[in-house]
Amino acid sequence: MDELIKEIKNLKVDVSKEAFVLMNSRYSPILIEKKNFTIIPDLDNKDYSEDFSEIAFIDGGQAVLFEGASFCIGVIRVVAIIYKENKRVSKKLEEFNVFINMEKDNFIVKTFPSNNLNDIIINSKDEALNYDDERVVPSRVLSIVRRLAELNIASNFDTVVIDGTLEARYPYEIDYVNNLKNAFALSKTCSLTTNIGIGVTDYLRNLMDGQWVYYPVVKNNNPLHPADICFIKLNNNSEYIFRFEYKKNIEFNKVLKIIRTLSLNSNDPVFLGYPYGLIDADQYARFTNNEKKLLQTKIGVKLGKEWYAFSKMLTSMNSHEVLDNIKF
């Protein structure tokens, strides 16, 4: 343990070395330079931009209720929390059940109640779904449906901040991203590193104090990612730095305006430096274990005598839950 502690103590961030962000070949690196920081001035509640005084914060949640080798039954909830001048003024919430069934090489999606995600077809051999050459399980598709539902509800608003990124990685997704208007995305976590082996957020944190925007990061040549990337620190007293994206059709001076507005929304000590609107959306979208169990029970009761036969189809996928519940 002592030797391990020594290694930990030797971890240091050296910003004297030139660095740039490492991404794949669709992104051209740009040298990180101190001149590319823009300081976010301290604001008060009268400094809201008229362009972005009303913002919809978007998030979604999901729960797998039952899963077999070739099907998945789940539930999805997406929410938009609308803030105006740092106050929640309304919310829009959509919830629906999903049945995903595999037919030959395709996953067929059914939604209840039916919406515009009903009857979408996703090929199980699509490269976007592949993971270490393992067969794609139906519950993976549930995550894709949730992502599309988040983008769909976001398209109802003029200005949105989405949890995550604006990159389209899955089938159908690019059409939904292109349908957004003034769209911004904030990632809670960032695993991007620099060419010198230092995480980009660590490098930037040691290069500049205060609250700021760092741009440009890379030149984005990815046709499935119609966005520009920057990094933001939204509160002087926070250590958190986030990856922040915006659609390419938005001028950078307008981006600065919404970032200033978001800084006013990032003063809650629960997660200092992170927009409270996204915390709010996460809480409404999240499914609790009690909610999941209640929905499972309702389906079981509705199945009645058919429950026993149906439960046999779940054994192969749910055996790990049995092990989790064994008490020694």
Can you give the length of the chain in residues?
Answer: 328
Asked whether residue 311 carries a pLDDT value surpassing 90, the answer given is no
Asked whether residue 55 carries a pLDDT value surpassing 90, the answer given is yes
CA distances from 273 to 177, 239, 263 (A): 26, 8, 7
Q: What angle do CA 166, 171, 172 make, to 5 degrees?
A: 70
pLDDT digits 0-9 by tens, 67-121: 988 899 999 999 999 999 889 999 999 999 999 999 988 999 999 999 999 999 9
Asked whether residue 208 carries a pLDDT value surpassing 50, the answer given is yes
Contact 249, 179 (CB under 8 A): no
Asked whether residue 194 carries a pLDDT value surpassing 90, the answer given is yes
71 SS3 class: strand
- HEC string of 241-303 equals CEEEEEECCCCHHHHHHHHHHHHHCCCCHHHCCCCHHHHHHHHHHCCCHHHHHHHHHHHHHHH
The C-alpha atoms of residue 80 and residue 157 are separated, in whole angstroms, by 9
Asked whether residue 185 carries a pLDDT value surpassing 60, the answer given is yes
Q: What is the DSSP letter of 197?
A: S
Banded pLDDT at 187 (limits 50, 70, 90): very high
Q: What is the CATH number of domain 26-40+49-287?
A: 3.30.2170
Please provide the average confidence, as pLDDT, over all residues in the chain. Answer: 89
Nearest to 250 by CA among 185, 186, 187, 184: 184
Residue found under tokens 């192969």: 316
CA atoms within 13 A on the CB side of 101: 7
Contact 199, 192 (CB under 8 A): yes
| Mean pLDDT of the region 2-13 | 78
pLDDT digits 0-9 by tens, 150-184: 999 999 999 999 999 999 999 899 999 999 999 99
- The secondary element (H helix, E strand) that includes residue 192 is none
pTM score, two decimals?
0.90
Sign of CA dihedral 159, 164, 167, 168: negative
Determine the distance from the C-alpha atom of residue 130 to the mean position of all C-alpha atoms in its chain, rounded to a whole number. Answer: 20
The C-alpha atoms of residue 208 and residue 227 are separated, in whole angstroms, by 25
Percent residues over pLDDT 90 in the chain:
69
| Mean pLDDT of the region 274-299 | 95
Burial (CB count within 10 angstroms: exposed 0-12, middle 13-18, buried 19+), residue 104: exposed
The C-alpha atoms of residue 14 and residue 63 are separated, in whole angstroms, by 43
The C-alpha atoms of residue 97 and residue 110 are separated, in whole angstroms, by 8
pLDDT digits 0-9 by tens, 244-253: 999 998 999 8
Banded pLDDT at 323 (limits 50, 70, 90): very low
CA distances from 181 to 8, 167, 223 (A): 45, 15, 17
The C-alpha atoms of residue 218 and residue 25 are separated, in whole angstroms, by 11
